[in-house]
Amino acid sequence: MPRKSSGNYAILGLLAIEPMSGYDIRKFVQEVLSSFWNESYGRIYPLLAELSRQGLARKRLERRTGKPDRHVYQISQRGRAELRAWLRLPPQPIQIRNEASLKLFFGANLSIQENLRAIERVRDRLLREKAALAEFEEAQARERDESDQGEYFALVLRLGQMLNQVRLRWCDEASERLERRSRRRTRKEA
């Protein structure tokens, strides 16, 4: 049996937390998982249909007044079993494409000043992320969710915060190093 792609299981895992629509899933992924996962609409809807066809999730129409109707998917017992089996497999290696790092690695092709500005922009992004993470933490603290799901959510949130913090520290360090180098250069030219 060819191993199914992780996208299937990512969605199955979310349905195991609570029943969701495709729209919910997209939102959840963007808001909560974005620091280590992504799924687009173009994948979510076909994958939901497939999960439904395979009997791993059940689709039901939720009629609502005041808001558009929606298709809510609920994980089945077989779905949970498949999810657990997948969770036990060794994880695939991390896949990453960090264009900002790549560009800095090629920084020798630009001026030091341009690279300093690039690092500044990275820092801005990190500060915005930091604020978003802090909001999550507050929301979490307010909810006082003692469930297992709450615990694992807290763990990955903490990882996100630690990574964010260390990246910010790196920005400071890198800026300082480049500024020193820039000053050394000006002195030599004089």
Partner DNA sequence: AACACCATGTAAGCTGTTACATGATTAA
Partner DNA sequence: TTAATCATGTAACAGCTTACATGGTGTT
Point out which residues bind DNA (CB under 7 A). 2, 4-7, 21-24, 27, 38-43, 45-46, 48-49, 64-68, 70-72, 95, 97
Q: How far is CA 141 from CA 42, 99, 162, in A?
A: 34, 34, 18
Which of DNA, a second copy, none does residue 41 bind to, with CB < 5 to 8 Å depending on kind?
DNA
Q: What radius of gyration, in Å, describes the C-alpha atoms of the chain?
A: 22
What is the distance between the terminal CA atoms of the chain, rounded to a whole angstrom?
69
- Cα–Cα dist 15/48, whole Å: 10
Q: How far is the CB of 48 from a second copy (least distance, A)?
A: 17
CB atoms within 10 A of CB 158: 12
Q: Decide the pairing of beta strands 57-62 and 70-75.
A: antiparallel
Q: How far is the CB of 179 from DNA (least distance, A)?
A: 33
Query: Pattern of binders to a second copy over 96-135, x per CB under 8 A?
Result: xxxxxxxxxxxxxxx---xx--x--x--------------
- The number of angstroms, rounded, from the C-alpha of 173 to the middle of its chain's C-alpha atoms is 26
Query: Pattern of binders to a second copy over 63-102, x per CB under 8 A?
Result: -----------------x--xx--xx-xxx-xxxxxxxxx
Which of DNA, a second copy, none does residue 113 bind to, with CB < 5 to 8 Å depending on kind?
none
Q: What is the 3-state secondary structure (H, E, C) of 58-89?
A: EEEEECCCCCCCEEEEEECHHHHHHHHHHHHC
Residue nearer to a second copy on the CB measure, 72 or 83 = 83
Which of DNA, a second copy, none does residue 64 bind to, with CB < 5 to 8 Å depending on kind?
DNA
Closest CA to 32 of 48, 65, 10, 50: 10
Residue nearer to DNA on the CB measure, 88 or 97 = 97
- Cα–Cα dist 99/23, whole Å: 28
155 is an interface residue for a second copy by CB under 8 A: yes
Binding site for a second copy (CB under 8 A): 6, 10, 13, 16-17, 33, 35-38, 80, 83-84, 87-88, 90-92, 94-110, 114-115, 118, 121, 147-149, 151-153, 155-156, 158-159, 162-163, 165-167, 169-170, 173-174, 177-178, 181
